[in-house]
Amino acid sequence: MLVLTRKREQSIVIGDNVEIMVLGVSGDKVRLGITAPREVEVFRKEVIADRAGAQADTDADTEIVEVEAVAAEPEA
């Protein structure tokens, strides 16, 4: 893990096109601004964990059945 120290209005850049700026600090909360192309999805980590948990619940309730298609033989 890379650990950086930034002050308000300072940024880090990830790759060529993602910028994360510290907008403000208030107590133990940090406000971040993220500039990224629309095709880059940005989520809070807890949202991803919630989605994974919901998907696991859905998968447990769903039975997957594989069906093989067989061509009917013509009647003589």
Q: What is the pLDDT of residue 15?
A: 95
What does the pLDDT read at residue 58? Answer: 61
Rg (CA), the chain: 24
Q: What is the pLDDT of residue 52?
A: 83
pLDDT tens-digit profile of 38-70? 999 998 999 888 888 877 666 555 555 555 555
Number of H helices, E strands in the chain: 1, 3
pLDDT at 50: 86
Least confident interval from 14-23, 26-35, 55-64: 55-64
**DSSP 8-state code for residue 48:** H
In angstroms, rounded to a whole number, what is the distance separating the alpha carbons of residues 21 and 8? 8
- For residue 60, what pLDDT is reported? 58
